[in-house]
Amino acid sequence: MNCREQAKKIYELCVSRANATKKTMTYGEVLNALGYEKKVSGHAIRHGLELVLIACADSGLPDLT
């Protein structure tokens, strides 16, 4: 999955969790939801998270990262 696809999935996950439970997700929960193994570092989603941050800022949405 490229970083744009990853960013879209991260955004959808975070919004879904926030709407359902009013809670945030940990990096580990995001990694797990994206199918990464438990030993994978949070750096694996760094570029996706950066794109989410930029998109939220550009759109005037709350930061999700």
42-55 pLDDT, tens digit each? 899 999 999 999 99
**pLDDT of 65:** 64
3-class SS of residue 19: helix
44 is written with which tokens? 């694996």
Do 28 and 43 contact (CB within 8 A), yes or no? no
pLDDT tier for residue 63 given thresholds of 50, 70 and 90: confident
Report, as an integer, the average pLDDT of 26-36. 93
Q: What is the share, in percent, of the chain residues with pLDDT greater than 90?
A: 74
CB atoms < 10 A from the CB of 64, how many? Answer: 18
Report, as an integer, the average pLDDT of 6-18. 94
Q: What is the share, in percent, of the chain residues with pLDDT greater than 70?
A: 98
Closest C-alpha to 41, from 33, 51, 31:
31
